[in-house]
Amino acid sequence: MENLKISVTGKVQGVWYRAKTKEKADELRLSGFVVNQDNGSVYLEVSGEKDIVYDLVKWLQNGSELSMVKKVCIEKNHIFHKDGFVIKR
């Protein structure tokens, strides 16, 4: 299992980035959450099989159709999420 903390910067708020991230995470059957940050970035934590988690990471680099991702920062996380993927407000 892989557990990651991810921060995404660029034009990622107001462009359906969180909703599309949830759709992709649900499609991949990953667990965790995604939330907008006050600085304009999007933060997420994700848990799942390593290869599948990195499939999401690859998707995050482009994101939703309207987003313009500048940077995806990844850190290992010690927290394991197991109850699906949610959007936090």
In the residue annotation, 36 being an active-site residue is answered as: yes
Compute the distance between CA of residue 41 and CA of residue 54 in angstroms, rounded to an integer: 20
Tokens 């304009």, residue located: 40
Candidates 18, 29, 39, 77; catalytic one: 18
* Beta-bridge partner residues of 8: 42, 72
Candidates 3, 29, 36, 89; catalytic one: 36
Tokens 């940077």, residue located: 71
In the residue annotation, 62 being an active-site residue is answered as: no
List, by residue number, the catalytic residues: 18, 36
